[in-house]
Amino acid sequence: MANPEKAAAVAELKEQFSASTAAVLTEYRGLSVAQLKQLRRALGEEAEYAVVKNTLAGIAAQEAGIDAFEGKLSGPSAIAFVAGDPVAVAKSLRDFAKENPELILKGGYMDGAALDEDGIKKLADLESREVLLAKVAGAAQASLSKAAALFQAPLSKTVRTAEALRAKVEETGEAA
């Protein structure tokens, strides 16, 4: 029978995998405790950064139906479990790794798909969710404005024609 502490740790990790929208696996060898604290602060409310035991994390990921970490769980590993915007977390991790090259982005998963290091960097290059939503809203508003102008064009033409006729009637004094 498995050690109850390890079984509880696997259950907790499985719950974190299931509850998160994405997860990013990192190696933190060479980072000080103060640097890890700084990284956790940089991630803020968007993610929980947890140091994990490789074997237990592998079992929990497999039980959660995630195969993105197979073969990547070696060395001192930590996982950023994303609860908020995956783009913001990827940016925070990328920026922190630039300043602290000891942090290595190994891979991750999002929406059931595996991400390699390049995938995480591409995700970090995206604009934030709010910016993308604002762009969509702006495009929709522009389309609606064009549609309103298109629908109003026949009415405007009719009004202009009626005004021209009225002006002609007033000028000539004749009834049309």
Looking at residue 176, its pLDDT comes to 47
Residue 58 belongs to what domain range? 4-126
- pLDDT-based confidence at residue 35 (cuts at 50, 70, 90): very high
State whether 140 and 120 are in the same domain: no
Same domain, 23 and 86: yes
b/e per residue, 126-146, with b = 16+ CB within 10 A? eeeeeeeeeeeeeeeeeeeee
pTM above 0.75, yes or no: no
- Name the domain count of the chain: 2
Read off φ and ψ for residue 135, nearest 5 degrees. -65, -40
- Among the candidates 111, 126, 141, a domain finishes at 126
Higher pLDDT, 118 or 81: 81
Are 90 and 169 within one domain? no
CA distances from 43 to 36, 52, 96, 124, 134 (A): 11, 17, 10, 13, 23
Give, in order, the Cα–Cα distances in Å from 3 to each of 8, 50, 56, 58, 88: 9, 21, 12, 16, 37
Residue where one domain finishes, among candidates 107, 126, 145? 126
